[in-house]
Structures are given as C-alpha cells and as structure tokens.
Chain A
Amino acid sequence: MSTALKPDLGDLKLIGYYLGKVLLGLGLLQLVPLVVALSLGEWNSASAFAIGAAIAVTSWALSDALLATRRALTWAHGMVIVALSWLLGPVYAAVPMLLSGRFTDPMHALFEAMSALTTTGMSVIHDLDHTPISEDLFRHLLQIAGGLGIIIVVLSVFAAGGARITTLYVSEARDERVLPNIIRTARFIFTVAGTLFVVFTTLLIVALIATGFTPGRAVYHGVNLFFSSFATGGFSVMQSSIIYYHSAWVELLVGIVMIAGTLSFGLHLAMWRGDPRDVLRHIETRTLTVVTSALFLLLCWGLVRAGSYDSVTALLRKGLFTLVSAASSTGHQVNVGDTYLYDWGLLAPAAIVAAMAMGGMASSTAGGIKAMRVGLTFKSVIHEIRRILLPESALVVTTYHAGKRRVLRDATARAAVIVLLLFIASYLLGIVTALAYGELDLTQAIFEAVSVGSNIGISIGVVNPGMPDGLALVYILQMWLGRLEFVAAFVLLGYLVALARGRAHT
C-alpha cells in the first residue's frame, strides 16, 4: 500500500487561510443580531455578540496576515477545509450563545450551535419562550446560512476565483452544480431563497395577523419561520414549535416552504425555466413520491389502528405535517414529544423514522441519506436481479434520470450504498450510546439517533437541557458526519494520519 504524502507547512497555511475566511463570515453574521440587540436594548445579548464577532473577525485578521498563500487548492485541501469549517464554525457560533447565559454547560452551547448550522434543529436552550429577540434571530440566521451552505455563502462573497471555490462547493456535500459557473450557481441559490422569502414570509405574516398576532410579532415569527423552514432546520421561536400557532394556514404555508427547501436547486432551476417535466421524471422526485406515499399510508394505518385520530383533517394536520417535516429533514413539530411514544403505537413512529432516515433531495438544504441514494440503491438491486435472471450473454443496462438520462455505473451504485451504510452506522452509534446510559428504551433511542444523524430535529424528548454530556458529544458527532455526508470527515481523518505518519516530500 502506498503511503500518503505528509502535508507540509504550505498546505497547513492554505487550510488556515481559507478557514479564516469562513470565520470572517461567521463574525459578520453576528453583526445582524448585534444591531437588533442594540436597537431593542438587549444589552446582555449585545455584549455577547460584540465579543463573539470580535473573536471571529480577529481570527480572520490573523489568518489573513500570517497565512496568505498563492498555493493552489486541491481536492484534499477542499475536503479538509470543509470538514474543519463545520467543526470550527459551531465552536465560534457557540461563543455568544454561552456568553448570553442561556447555557450553563459549554457542551450544550456547542450542541445548539452545531444543531443550528447543520440544520438539525434540536434545541437544549433554557426557557426558549423568553429568549431575547436578537438571540432567537441569531439561531435562525445560523440555520439559513448552514442550509444554503456556510462555505458557499462565505466564499462566494469573499473568495476570488470560481475554480478554487468549486472544490469547496463539491466538498460541502453538494455534488451537483446547478449552473456551469459556481458563482452563478451561488447567485441562483440566493435568488431562489430571496424570492421565496419575500413571497412566503409575506403570506406567513398575513396568516399570523389573521390568527391574532400584532403586526410586529407577526413579522418576527414570520421571518424566523421562513428561515427555519426553507433551511429545513426546524428551530422554532416557541418551545411548542408549530402547535403554538393553532393555525391550519400557517401549517399549510410552512409545509409548502419545507417542500421547497427539500427540492434540489437543480429542480428549482428546471421549474424557473418552465420545464416541470424535468422535475417529474427526476429519480429523486419519483423516489420521494413513491416512498413518502407508501410511508403516509403506513402512518395512517398505524394512527388509525392505535386510535390516535379518526378524521381526515387530523390525519393531515398531525400525520402528514409530521411526515413532510421528517422527509424534508426540517423537524417542525405539531405534537409534543411524548405523543410519538405513548399515543401513536409502534407502526406510525416507525414510518416517521423511515422518512427521517431517507431525508430529502441531494443538493438541497435537506439532510438524511437522500432520495438520490435510496433511488440508486433500489435501481442497483433491480439491476443485479435482472443480471442474474437474464442469459449470461445479455447486456444489462440500467438508466435513471437526473438532469439528463444517465447510465447506472458500478462506481455510482457503490458510492450510494457505502454512504447509506455509513448513515446506518451513525444511527447505531447514537442508539448504542443512548442505551448505554440505561434510562431510555429502544424506541426512544432509535427515534432520536435517526433524527440527529439525519439532521432532522423531531425529538421524542431525549434531547433536553438535562442531557448527559457524553450523549450530547455523540449527537454532535452524528450531526457533523450527517451534514458532511461522511466523505469530507474521512478525508480529514486521512489527512491527520498523513500528518503523523506520512511520507515526507523529496
């Protein structure tokens, strides 16, 4: 086996230089809640954001002054930068959270920051209902930045040269460039998000005013609801999540925004160009349609059998909303956590767990294994069965549609299956750790581990401010791996091994 080359000082400087740019982005992001805090007189929050922003911007200034380099970015560099960005980003984002006094345990502040940036949406914050507006806004801004891709958000603004950031874009588990040029891709992503923001936030504000909100509160809730729904993040302004609003219109609008968030940006482009046929024949659309329809039937069967609901309206408002929230990897809730455990029987939560495991589409804001991999795995199983049944001389070709008609190749199928298996390994890690603490049953352990590992955020109640640090750490690891879809994390691991044991440059 050949030994990897040991990274030299130039490689490390390059990695540090780009990490600094990401930290600058996080520092500048904190200026928004800082201004809000100052204008609302939330002085404690303002000082937390001022210190947090100062630390992040100082880190960038140091990296920019000391580590600037002309060395070209390779794929390995890109993967390592992205993996480290998703580790360092939450650490820096946790600083103002910890300073705000909402978290007594630094591990829980880190959990909240990782949950925000990876768009998982589980929260361990104390007294969410009385959190200052600026701090709530910061949590939701982190979700939209994480959902759109913190690297692409930051580097398309601060980095020069499209070729260099293409490496980073692909490393950030975004394997489909929507447009040939990466800057144009980033611009299109922002345009879609901005257009949907204007339309659906306005509609949400109207719906909230109709339910009795004052205009000011409606704007505050509407903006945050859009951020957490389109980012498929699932944070909420209120502890009780979407139940708080008691409004079918709010649920419908949030449902549409969650679906928009789970669509890949490639399919958004097809719709903008007026080619809905491209959407309908795409392997991810078909996989999501077939699987979620089957799961919704299973969910209804489970809910009716358990005697949970007995009307179409209840099945839609409680069952369908939860399924869309799970399959889109958002995590908004219309039930309290205990409901899944005590009132839904076993079949209905199983359907939700399956939807959470699959998640949304690749190259969207969604998490999970992704419909693309589930579809490709199914196609490769059919391919193998056909290969066995047909005569040996027969040429078996399996195709699928993803932007254009493609032939299913062994390498593609193998990559899909490997990532699928790694997600299952991540779920097992979370399940075993939760069970090791001895206070949870298997249903709770499975539900929470799949929800965390797929960056979903629907909780059965295991994640709470009293959660043990060890379990929080494993869940943080699961969220990080799930967001990176493993590849960049393994490259980072390999890079660290090469750093310790690699062959020196000759």
Chain B
Amino acid sequence: MSSPRSEGFWRERLRGVGLVTLLGLAVLAVATVIAVVALAVFG
C-alpha cells in the first residue's frame, strides 16, 4: 500500500474502486444475457 504522499496513492484507490465497479457491471451484463436467453427459451 502506498503512503499518502507517494505518487501511487490515488492511483491504487482509483484502480480498486474502478475494478470493483467494472466487476459489478460485468455481472449485470452477463446476467442480462442469461435473462434474455431464459426468456427466449422458457418464456
């Protein structure tokens, strides 16, 4: 972990928050595809 005065301090935090958000959106995207397929096949 970087110290507050080092260059990577904000980059680490931005990366952590950004990747968690991306992961959440990826889950939503995959689930949308599954839901569309499920409605088409079982609906």
Closest to A268 in B: B16
Chain A 253-283 residues near chain B, CB threshold 8 A: 255-256, 259-260, 263, 268, 271-274, 276, 279
**CB of A137 closer than 8 Å to a CB of B:** no
Closest to A259 in B: B24
Q: A179 to chain B: which residues have CB within 8 Å?
A: 1
Q: Is the CB of A276 within 8 A of B19?
A: yes
A300-314 to B contact mask, C-beta < 8 Å, 1/0: 110011000011100
Main secondary structure of the interface of A (DSSP, over half): helix
A276 to B19, CA, bound (A): 8
Q: Is the CB of A195 within 8 A of B13?
A: yes
Chain B 1-31 residues near chain A, CB threshold 8 A: 1, 12-13, 15-17, 19-21, 23-25, 27-28, 30-31
Q: Is the CB of A196 within 8 A of B20?
A: yes
Distance between B1 CB and nearest chain A CB, rounded to angstroms: 6
A482 to B1, CA, bound (A): 32
Q: Is the CB of A301 within 8 A of B42?
A: yes
A260 to B21, CA, bound (A): 8
Q: B43 to chain A: which residues have CB within 8 Å?
A: 304, 310
Distance between B31 CB and nearest chain A CB, rounded to angstroms: 5
Q: A188 to chain B: which residues have CB within 8 Å?
A: 1
Q: Is the CB of B15 within 8 A of A259?
A: no
A271 to B43, CA, bound (A): 39
**CB of A320 closer than 8 Å to a CB of B:** yes
**Total chain A interface residues with beta-carbon distance under 8 A:** 37
Q: B20 to chain A: which residues have CB within 8 Å?
A: 196, 256, 259-260, 263, 268, 271
A to B contact number (C-beta, < 8 Å): 87
Given known contacts A259-B20, A320-B31, A272 and B38 CB-to-CB distance under 8 angstroms: no
Q: Is the CB of A272 within 8 A of B16?
A: yes
Q: Is the CB of B15 within 8 A of A296?
A: no
Q: B28 to chain A: which residues have CB within 8 Å?
A: 252, 255, 316, 320
A294 to B15, CA, bound (A): 29
Q: Is the CB of B39 within 8 A of A300?
A: yes
Q: Is the CB of A300 within 8 A of B19?
A: no
> Which residue of A199, A274, A305 contacts B15 across the interface (Cβ within 8 Å)?
A274
Q: B27 to chain A: which residues have CB within 8 Å?
A: 255, 259, 320, 324
Interface size class of B (residues with CB under 8 A): 20 to 34
Q: A271 to chain B: which residues have CB within 8 Å?
A: 15-16, 19-20
**CB of A191 closer than 8 Å to a CB of B:** yes
**CB of A297 closer than 8 Å to a CB of B:** yes
Given known contacts A184-B1, A256-B21, A312 and B16 CB-to-CB distance under 8 angstroms: no
Given known contacts A192-B16, A256-B21, A272-B12, A187 and B31 CB-to-CB distance under 8 angstroms: no
Given known contacts A191-B1, A272-B15, A300-B42, A256 and B35 CB-to-CB distance under 8 angstroms: no
Given known contacts A195-B13, A296-B31, A315 and B38 CB-to-CB distance under 8 angstroms: yes
Q: A255 to chain B: which residues have CB within 8 Å?
A: 24, 27-28
**CB of A319 closer than 8 Å to a CB of B:** yes
Q: B23 to chain A: which residues have CB within 8 Å?
A: 256, 259, 263, 279
**CB of A293 closer than 8 Å to a CB of B:** yes
> Which residue of A195, A274, A293 contacts B34 across the interface (Cβ within 8 Å)?
A293
Distance between A145 CB and nearest chain B CB, rounded to angstroms: 22
A279 to B22, CA, bound (A): 13
Given known contacts A259-B20, A300-B42, A319 and B13 CB-to-CB distance under 8 angstroms: no
A259 to B30, CA, bound (A): 14
Q: Is the CB of A196 within 8 A of B17?
A: yes
Given known contacts A184-B1, A252-B28, A310-B43, A319 and B16 CB-to-CB distance under 8 angstroms: no
A176 to B21, CA, bound (A): 24
A300 to B27, CA, bound (A): 15
Q: Is the CB of B1 within 8 A of A312?
A: no
A65 to B32, CA, bound (A): 60
Given known contacts A255-B24, A259-B27, A312-B39, A195 and B17 CB-to-CB distance under 8 angstroms: yes
Task: Identify 20 new A-B residue pairs, CB closer than 8 A, beyond the known A179-B1, A296-B34, A315-B38.
Answer: A187-B1, A195-B13, A196-B17, A196-B20, A199-B17, A252-B28, A256-B24, A259-B24, A259-B27, A271-B15, A272-B16, A273-B12, A293-B30, A296-B31, A301-B38, A304-B42, A312-B32, A312-B35, A315-B35, A316-B28
Which 9 residue pairs of A and B lie closest in terms of their CB atoms, listed nearest first?
Answer: A300-B38, A256-B24, A315-B35, A271-B19, A272-B16, A304-B42, A320-B31, A260-B20, A312-B35
| 10 interchain pairs, CB-CB under 8 A | A187-B1, A252-B28, A259-B23, A272-B12, A300-B35, A300-B39, A312-B35, A315-B39, A320-B27, A320-B35
